[in-house]
Amino acid sequence: MLIVIVRSIILYIVVLIVMRIMGKRQIGQLQPFELVITIIISELAAVPMQNTGIPLLYGIIPIVILMIAHIILSFASLKSLKARAVICGKPSILIDHGIVRTDELAKLYFNIDDLLEQLRVKGYPDIQDVEFAILETKGQLSVIPKSMKRPVTPKDMNLNIEQERLPITLIIDGKVVRENLKIAKLNENDIRKNLNNSDISDFKQVLFAGLDSSGKFFFQKK
């Protein structure tokens, strides 16, 4: 029993390291070749984890080889447009200037019901509102609505809006995030002054604190 536990922990750590090296994408964001490698790695890890008669290296070595293959393919797709087209494929235009391309749908085994469903998910129940619909290489549908159906922007109304900043987290569960303090160009005394105004003397009383997109300090008590 102890052997099974140790082997499981080792394989878990190996797979975790490999997946971290491979990147931070979610399953729905993986390219086809990345998804295939991920599925195979999970199978390779499961077999020696269940069968103690199989040497541990028989599971680890193939996983490392697949990781190297992934890095090579990713590098090739990064440096070469031709390699990217072969490895990842190309986006397909399903609606072009408001017209559904039935030839492209047939090529992708994509029927009208599938297209209408994806458009509804994206918030476009009426196909007549769509100028372009593009099926990306990851299987996601990108929708570009017709000009008259697009949301109004400040630019359309000739409004001069101040550029927002990225919100910065300063305290999480009572602990100061010191790296973000440097980014915000603040120190602990600055935070204490803001908290003292609300009768809070200890960081441990704070669940979350930070600067919003306008640079304003905000917090929530535990």
pLDDT in tens, 35-76: 888 888 888 888 888 787 888 888 899 999 988 988 898 888
Rounded to whole angstroms, what are the CA distances from 95 to 98, 99, 220?
A: 6, 5, 47
The Cα–Cα gap between 77 and 195 comes to 50
In three-state secondary structure terms, 147 is helix
Query: Radius of gyration over alpha carbons of the chain, in Å?
Result: 26
The Cα–Cα gap between 6 and 12 comes to 10
pLDDT in tens, 84-133: 888 888 899 999 999 999 999 999 888 999 999 999 999 999 999 999 99
Query: What does the pLDDT read at residue 24?
Result: 67
pLDDT in tens, 157-205: 888 877 778 899 999 998 999 899 888 888 888 888 888 888 888 888 9
Instruction: Examine the pLDDT at 25 and tell me if it is beyond 70.
Output: no
The Cα–Cα gap between 108 and 90 comes to 12
Residues 6+ apart with CB under 8 A from 129: 145, 146, 149
The Cα–Cα gap between 66 and 20 comes to 14
Query: What does the pLDDT read at residue 126?
Result: 93
Rounded to whole angstroms, what are the CA distances from 90 to 31, 63, 82, 222?
A: 11, 28, 10, 49
* Nearest to 91, CA basis, from 42, 142, 43: 142
Contact at 8 Å (CB) between 211 and 171? Answer: no
* Residue that has been written with the tokens 């990217």 in this structure: 84
Query: What does the pLDDT read at residue 207?
Result: 92
Residues 6+ apart with CB under 8 A from 107: 92
User: Whole-model pTM?
Assistant: 0.67
The Cα–Cα gap between 142 and 42 comes to 30
Query: What does the pLDDT read at residue 57?
Result: 86
The Cα–Cα gap between 74 and 134 comes to 23
* Nearest to 38, CA basis, from 73, 74, 68, 63: 63
Q: What are phi and psi of 146, to 5 degrees?
A: -65, 155
Torsion angle, alpha carbons of 97, 100, 106, 111, to 10 = 140
Please report, rounded to a whole number, the percentage of residues in the chain having pLDDT higher than 70.
Answer: 97
